[in-house]
Structure 1
Amino acid sequence: MATILGNQTDHFALLKFKEPISDDPNGILDSWNSSIHFCKWGGITCNPMHQRVIGLNLEGYQLHGSLSPHIGNLTLLKNLNLGNNSFYGEIPKELGKLLQLQQLYLTNNSFVGEIPTNLTYCSNLKDLFLSGNNLIGKIPIAIASLKMLQRMTLSSNKLTGGIPSFIGNLSCLTQFSFADNNLEGDIPQAICLLKKLTVLRVGVNNLSGTPPSCLYNITSLTIFFMAINNFHGPLPPNMFHTLPNIQMFGIAKNQFSGPIPTSINASSSINFLDIPDNNFVGQVPSLGKLKDLYHLNLERNNLGNNSAKDLEFLKPLTNCSKLYLLSFDTNNFGGVLPNSIGNLSNELKMLYLGCNMISGKIPAELGHLVGLISLYLESNHLEGVIPTTFGKFQKLQLLSLRNNKLSGDIPHFVGNLSQLFILDLYDNTFEGNIPPSIGNCQKLQYLKLSQNKFRGTIPLEVFNLFSLTNLLDLSHNSLSGSLPKEVGMLKNIDWLDVSENHLSGNIPETIGECVSLEYLNLQGNSFNGTIPSSLASHKGLRYLDLSRNQFYGPIPDAMQNISSLEYLDVSYNMLEGEVPIYGVFGNATQVEIIGNNKLCGGIAQLHLPPCHINGIKHPKHHEFKFIIVIVSVVSFLLILSFIITIYWMRKRNQKRSFDSPTIDQLTKVSYQALHRGTDGFSTRNLIGSGSFGSVYRGNLVSEDNFVAVKVLNLQKQGAHKSFIVECNALKNIRHRNLVKILTCCSSTDYTGQEFKALVFDYMKNGSLEQWLHPEILNAEPPTTLDLSHRLNIIIDVASALHYLHHECEQLVIHCDLKPSNVLLDNDMVAHVKYGMGFEVSTCGDMYTFGILVLEMLTGRRPTDETLEDGQNLHNFVRISFPDNLINILDPHILSRDAGVSIRDGNSENLFPRVEECLISLFKIGLVCSMESPKERMNIVDVNRELIIIKKAFLAGEIN
């Protein structure tokens, strides 16, 4: 009878388990019906004697739904495997009723919430696999009661706190994986009690300190991974004697220092050694006894000392017949490459030797490594020619020899490397013609031959490389001839650069067929003819440089329709006629036109003469409209017409009449002084215009420096009101990081008409918006903002918001915080201009502050076209943060010496101090821009965090 009741309970529990599953694409649950006994249903295992469910295995069937609490009624269940599905919601606490459960696999789902403490009732549990979910909170202390537990993996969640010391009580534990969480603190000494431990994975956390020395005495360990944390200190010299069974050892991206322990050569079981991005020094010990070694990564350390013996470790490596990857990129290795390098394993696929100080010639023996897929020798001091033996690299896909002293021709056998998709010979002294045989490399996506001495014409075979999608860069050579019409065959090319050569002739109309083109640089040649109108067909073109050529005729009107264009340079040609005013031509910081003496018209900021016909000024339609031009300092003045100081905290119900307005006492300046200081409001001093007036650059006797004078258009409805509000509201607002109103003028002009103007500080370095996009900035170097600049600007803006929210007599809401409203003075100190929006809330200000921070760190506008499928900037950052920081980081934010090495678009190293600063700033931006106002930080907490970040950044404490 008990068995029958048990069968009914199991049957009902399984049906209830099925109910909340909304999607079963593989139909595994189709058999779950009354036509057959439930023990024959897909994924079910029953005890043959009692017909009770003891196993439920639905791994990898792509099921979507929540996990029913009725699962707890399968009381004899021993094995539950729901891994690799799409279950969501919390893990039901009813799992604690499964007292017979031995294996629980919920890996790679979307479970949320904390790990249920009720699991500790499952006293027979041996395997607990919860990796790849969204679990939060600390590791429950109750897990200490699971005395039978052998394997516990909680990786890839969002767990916090530290590694609990109770872990030492789980004496049966053999596998322990907490990687990829938010754990912090030290590794507890108690971990050394786990005498049966074979696998230890705690990488990708915020753990710190020096690992306990006893950890290196757990002789049973075979896999040891602690990568991407903040561990420091040297490794014990004899550690590999006390880890005799170690097979995989990975501690990348920490701060370990000292030499590589010489005892490593005694550990013949090691097959995987990965220690990049640390501070190891000295020589690499002999590794010739590691017969099974297939992965050796020593990148980005301080190994070697630029001596002749630095590379002696390569010869013993020829005994490692399974070696698959070898990288000692970015160290201090000097000397020459030994001929013995050609005796390395035939299995070697990836060889990275770049960014060292290796000199001499490339040994011909290197060509014996015919299995190579990737070969990087860039940024060394190599000289001589490319060995002919390189023609044997039939499998080679990536070859980088950039930034060396190599010479001679590109050998014709390059055409034999048919699998190449990256060929980078940039910055050498190669000469001769580009061989037509390169056209045989039909998989080539990236070809960079710039900064060499190539001559002759560009072979047509290059334009037959339909695979070229990323880049074709032939710039800074001595190429001659024309750009042939075959260029149109590169339909999917993103980047085309043939600048600084001796090319001539017309630009073929077929260039319009390169539909994916984003960057086109033709500068510094002898191209002539007119600018082809087909360029306007490039709807995604962002950068176009035609400067220093011999183009003549007008600028095609159609070019103002390229909505994506961010920078255009046509300077130093022979162009003539009227300059368009829309699109890129509407922003003087995005267009260069100097050196074309016959151009006229355009927007006022270009300072071109007006266009004339038969001595009569040609009336242009845009003269009858006000065009809002956001440029340099004036961008803040153009929206000041919308300024309002919000007194809604204490005066929200009060009504104020403007029928007979009065202006509070504010020092005034005369119309005569303004007229004289702006040369009669000359167009030469006009720096912007908007719906409420125009802005002029001026110089007043009463002011030591230049000022910005906003002359109100009193014909515009609301202009009088704007003048009064701005005067009364702004005169008492005084803060280092807020734009300062200096004076005002309320008078009559020389014709007797009413005249009103406001005078503000003039900010020489313009708006933050310009500086966030250095490729379009028209300024003297430096033209980019490094991390230190951006951190200071973020602090300045936050300080201004704190003043507006907490230090004014009444609360002031900004409502329009964005880069064009942040101005930089001579010392690059940020000053915020304030404007009116519609959402009267400090939470609204915090949202725009968060978006501003994200824009400053990513270099992407909130309306960036690269944000696909309705994705916003917040989500774009959140998806890649923090694991793939380099994918979202503005590439201009770090200088060349800031510790960043990028290979194939991936981050290889950020100095920890810099990386932690960026992570902290990204966190502020993300929290402030949360969708729910209640989840956003307030400005007080933001300022407190920023002070800590800056102090640590300057003192080097973030490491």
Structure 2
Amino acid sequence: MFYNLPILQFFQVANNQFSGTIPISVTNESLLQTLDFAGNHFVGQVPSLGKLTKLRLLSVCSNNLGGFPSKDLKFLKPLTNCTNLYRLVICGNNFGGQLPNYVGNLSTQLSVLHFGYNQIYGKFPAELGNLVNLTLLDMQHCRFDGNIPATFGQFQKIGILELSENKLSGEIPAFIGNLSQLYFLNLADNMFEGSIPSSIGNCQKLQHVNFSMNNLSGTIPSEIFSISSLTTLLDLSQNSFSGNLSDEVGNLENLDVLKLSENNLVGNIPTSIAKCLSLEFLYLQGNSFSGTIPSSMVSLKGLRELDISRNHFSGSIPEGLQNISLEYLNISFNMLDGQVPTGGVFRNVSEFAIIGNNKLCGGVSELHLPPCPSEAKKPKRHHNFRFIAVIVCVCAFFFLLSLFLTIYWMRKRSRKMSDDSPTIDQLAKVSYQSLHNGTNGFSEENLIGCGSFGSVYKGTHALEGSVVVVAIKVLKLQTKGAEKSFVAECNALRNVRHRNLVKILTCCSGTDYKGQEFKALVFEFMTNGSLESWLHPPSTGIPNHTLNLEQRLNIINDVASAFHYLHYECDPTIIHCDLKPSNVLLDDFMVAHVADFGLARLVGKNIGESSMQTSSIGLKGTFGYAPPEYGMGYQVCMEGDMYSFGILILEMLTGKRPMDEMFKDGYNLHNYVQVSISSNVLQIVDPRILSKGNQLHPSVENCLISLFRVGLACSVELPSERMAMVDVMRELNRIKSCFLSAELMEEAD
């Protein structure tokens, strides 16, 4: 197969239909750095590759190699000569036998070791801990047994530890808490015993934790609920945990999936769970929880699936559950009583289960439940009492009428003041003097941005006994529309609460030292600035001020989550009207927060019922990001925000602004991507994403193409054809899962 190729450095035939054995002639190509046979039908053994001393990547994943245990892993010993080896991936084959001790003599540069989905058995050799530069160790779905060696505590750089679906036993070692870079931990489907070590609370980068299907017991340590970075999954199901669920569960404000099912947990569900606003999937079935279903759970507006079946809940079903975005609900086999709601998820009997609750009544007809008893008839009032009631009502009517007329005339005299008060009165106030002092007199050195209606300063503000850094937006009241922008932003932000929206702390409405009117809004300060500064850094910026593909995907997810909340979970619905990179701010952890609601509109659920629809604030949005229909006088709508969101995705993936000088005469960013996505996608990708050359792992490239397609589907010209945010969220979750899997296999040159 290899004939006189003395300068061959990269050989990749992944994801084809090749069969037979791996050719022995490959061992003669001494300059080879990458050897990738993944995703084919090769059989037999891996030849000795010890002569390939420059080899950095070897992948034979997803073939039919192995099957002769006494020889299967012998190829590892010659690989100890390959001192540049960086990735070793042999997953998804038939390799058997025990893992030899000399695996610990592999290259000290080794970063990725992926042996999962094989027939390898026995104990982990302690020497494996010598590979101190590992960032990924994946041994899932093999037949390993015994304890996790103490030498694993030397993996100070490891980010992904995947040991699920083996026969590992003993206790989860306390040194887990020393693996400070860990963000993905999966020990599911083993035979671990004892309790979860409290030291896990030290792993403050963990996003995904799965301890399910073990023999763990004791109480769930509150330290695990202190890991604020948990976003993807916390799965403790199918163990023997006991005791109450700690109130600290409310600290998991960013978590998507929480699984505590099939344990021995007791007591009430803490009301603090209402703080977990990002929860989409909550599984508590098969425990001994009691009390009522907390009504605070209706605050979980993004909850899609809830299973609390096979517990001891009593009382009625919270009526508010019909008003959130539940797609599946199981409350079977409890002791619930009272009326079953008829809205939301309760309308479709195929999406919820209530059997085993014999005292329920009402609900939709398909449930065939008995009707609820009528209210007892109220006794008739005495005739004289009714006469007195009529007189009281008439007097009250005239009193209220006179009061209304008085208020009307007062408001007419000070209309300007009344326009602001409904919003401002609900926010804590701060004085002009305090803001002046906190910004050093609104000095130029504290100026961090300017917009159409105001300037933003970095400053300090006393909050709850401590001084915090804040962003202060000072309105340019001489600019037409600035005051309406102030009211719009206050109205939009006063009642919203979401981790991906900027938080308003206070406001100022008064006069400055010159006696001139002064208005300002105070927000939490975002350390990493705007998305604009990362996508298009100034020439004098920091050289490494850039975003990789994973960070861009996370930011897209964050922005989508914010707009799902604004469009579907707020009442009234909020239309942002001005989504663009400069209005997306990044905090310490690079979590995105949507900002600047100066053009926002509050609309009723039927979109036509708007308290602000008739008061235009100039152009609805920014040129290039605003949908074309706004320029023709159309009313604002959710589809307009979706267009801006689609353009934002395309800009993040291409690195090109929609106002780039190359886009003119009808040629725009949408068209630019559309003509290249199928055949030439890597030519339009922001080069900073391709940090390892002009190649991506095929699975990663497929994720990238899927992201481009979401951007295109959102930014089509006709509003009725744009992708809805509900569908976007579903697609982004799929892409995120695929990307996480693909990342394990991505070439790391």
TM range (shorter): 0.5 to 0.7
Give how far 1:613 is off.
Answer: 3.2
The count of aligned residue pairs is 419
2:498 match:
none
| Residue of structure 2 in register with 1:533 after alignment | 295
1:583 is aligned with what amino acid? Answer: G
Alignment partner, residue 569 of structure 1? 330
Match of 1:520 in 2: 282
Name 1:271's counterpart in structure 2. Answer: 33
Among 197, 203, 214, which residue is 1:441 paired with?
203
Aligned partners of 2:643 and 2:716 also within 8 Å: no
> What is the CA–CA distance in structure 1 between the aligned matches of 2:338 and 2:27, rounded to whole Å?
75
Give the 3-state SS of the residue equivalent to 1:539 in structure 2. Answer: coil
Asked if structure 2 preserves the Cα contact closer than 8 Å seen for 1:277 and 1:909, the reply is no
SS, match of residue 151 in structure 2: helix
In 1, Cα distance between equivalents of 2:643 and 2:254: 19
- 1:295 is aligned with what amino acid? L
Structure 2 Cα separation of the partners of residues 544 and 411 of structure 1: 32
Partner of 2:244: 482
In structure 2, relative to structure 1, the CA distance for the partners of 1:868 and 1:509 (3 Å cut) is: farther
The aligned amino acid for 1:336 is: Q
Which of the residues 399, 409, 412 maps onto 2:161? 399
Among 613, 617, 622, the residue aligned to 2:374:
613
Call closer, same or farther: CA 1:413–1:878 in 2, change over 3 Å.
Answer: farther
1:307-326 matches, within 5 Å, as 307-326=69-88
Deviation at 1:297, TM superposition (A): 1.1
Distance 1:907 1:867, change over 3 A: farther
- CA 1:881–1:500: 2 relative to 1, 3 Å: farther
Q: Which amino acid aligns with 1:573?
A: N
Q: Choose from 317, 320, 333 the match for 1:555.
A: 317
Matched with 1:543 is: 305
Partners of 1:457 and 1:883 in 2: how far apart?
Answer: 55
CA contact (8 A) 1:300 1:909 kept: no
TM-score computed with the length of structure 1 as normaliser: 0.41
Contact 2:237 2:262 in 1 (8 A): yes
**Contact 2:11–2:36 (8 Å) recurs in 1:** yes
- How big is the shift at 1:275? 1.7
* TM alignment of 1:594-613, pairs within 5 A: 594-613=355-374
Distance in 2, Cα, partners of 1:879 & 1:867: 21
Q: Paired residue for 1:297, among 59, 69, 73?
A: 59
- Aligned equivalent of 2:410: none
How many angstroms apart in 2 are the aligned matches of 1:864 and 1:530? Answer: 40
Q: What amino acid maps onto 1:612 in structure 2?
A: P
Alignment of 1:382 with 2:125, yes or no, is no
Q: How does 1:917-932 map to 2 (within 5 A)?
A: none
Q: Secondary structure at the match of 2:128?
A: helix
Cα distance, 1:867 vs structure 2: 7.5
Distance of 1:274 and 1:260 partners within structure 2: 11
Q: Distance in 1 between matches of 2:680 and 2:274?
A: 35
How far has the Cα of 1:510 moved from its partner?
Answer: 0.3
Matched, 1:590 2:351: yes
Following TM superposition, by how much is the alpha carbon of 1:585 offset from its aligned partner in structure 2, in angstroms? 1.0
* Offset from partner CA, 1:747-767 (integer Å, 9 cap, x none): xxxxxxxxxxxxxxxxxxxxx
- Residue identity in the other structure for 2:57: H
Q: How does 1:4-23 map to 2 (within 5 A)?
A: none
Paired with 1:882 and 1:456, the residues of 2 have a C-alpha distance of 54
Q: What SS does structure 1 have at the residue aligned with 2:27? A: helix
State the 1:298 CA deviation.
1.1
Deviations 1:752-803 (CA, angstroms, capped at 9, x unpaired): xxxxxxxxxxxxxxxxxxxxxxxxxxxxxxxxxxxxxxxxxxxxxxxxxxxx
Measured after TM superposition, the shift of residue 358 of structure 1 is: 0.6
Find the aligned partners of 1:385 and 1:299 in 2 and give their Cα distance: 26
CA distance in 2, matches of 1:270, 1:390: 31
One of 261, 266, 270 as aligned partner of 1:508: 270
Conservation of the 8 A alpha-carbon contact between 1:401 and 1:425 = yes
Q: Which runs of 5+ in 1 are unaligned?
A: 1-235, 617-862, 886-905, 933-959
Note if 1:367 corresponds to 2:129: yes
- Select the structure that is richer in helix: 2
Q: Tell me the amino acid that sits aligned with residue 510 of structure 1.
A: S
**What code does the residue aligned with 1:578 have?**
Q
Per the TM alignment, residue 590 of structure 1 is displaced from its structure 2 partner at its CA by 1.3
Q: Cα deviation per residue 1:378-408 (whole Å; 9 max; x = unaligned)?
A: 0101111101110111111000001111111
Partner amino acid, structure 2, of 1:448: N
Matched, 1:259 2:25: no
- CA deviations on 1:499-528 (whole Å, 9 max, x unpaired) are 000000000110000010000000000000
C-alpha displacement of 1:308:
2.0
The 3-state SS of whatever aligns with 1:335 is: strand
- Aligned-CA RMSD value: 3.6
CA distance in 2, matches of 1:254, 1:290: 24
8 Å CA contact retained: 1:533, 1:556? yes
Contact 1:464 1:490 in 2 (8 A): yes
Partners of 2:680 and 2:212 in 1: how far apart? 30
SS in 1 for 2:11: strand
Q: Distance in 2 between matches of 1:424 and 1:488?
A: 23
The answer for unaligned runs of 5 or more in structure 2 is: 378-637, 650-669, 682-696, 719-749
User: Contact 1:247–1:270 at 8 Å: present in 2 too?
Assistant: yes
CA distance change for structure 1 residues 411 and 318 in 2, over 3 Å: closer, same or farther? Answer: same
The alpha-carbon deviation at position 306 of structure 1 amounts to 4.6
Task: Give the structure, 1 or 2, with the largest relative contact order (CA under 8 Å, sep 6 or more).
Answer: 2
CA distance in 2, matches of 1:309, 1:363: 18
Equivalent residue runs for 1:443-458 within 5 Å: 443-458=205-220
CA distance in 2 between partners of 1:451 and 1:615 (Å): 51
Q: Distance in 2 between matches of 1:464 and 1:480?
A: 19
Larger Rg: 1
Distance 1:566 1:881, change over 3 A: farther
Structure 1 residues 462 and 884: alpha-carbon distance in aligned structure 2, compared to 1, 3 A threshold: farther
Which TM-score applies when normalising by structure 2?
A: 0.52
- Secondary structure of the residue aligned to 1:270 is coil
Cα distance in 2 for residues equivalent to 1:590 and 1:277: 38
Letter in structure 2 aligned against 1:383 = D
1:414-429 aligned at under 5 Å gives the runs 414-429=176-191
Distance in 1, matches of 2:223 and 2:280, equals 22
Q: Which amino acid in the other structure matches residue 47 of structure 2? A: P
Match runs of 1:845-884 below 5 Å: none
Moved over 2 A (4+): 613-616, 863-873, 877-885, 906-910, 929-932
Which residue of structure 1 lines up, in the alignment, with residue 46 of structure 2?
284
One-letter code aligned to 1:242: N
Map 1:625-704 to 2 at 5 A.
none
SS at match of 1:345: coil
| Structure 1 match to 2:340 | 579
Paired residues of 1:306 and 1:357 also in contact (CA < 8 A): no
Residues 1:909 and 1:607: Cα distance change in structure 2 (over 3 Å): farther
Q: Deviations over 1:820-877 (max 9, x none)?
A: xxxxxxxxxxxxxxxxxxxxxxxxxxxxxxxxxxxxxxxxxxx99998856599x9x9
Residue identity opposite 1:570 in structure 2:
I
| Pairing 1:409–2:171 present | yes
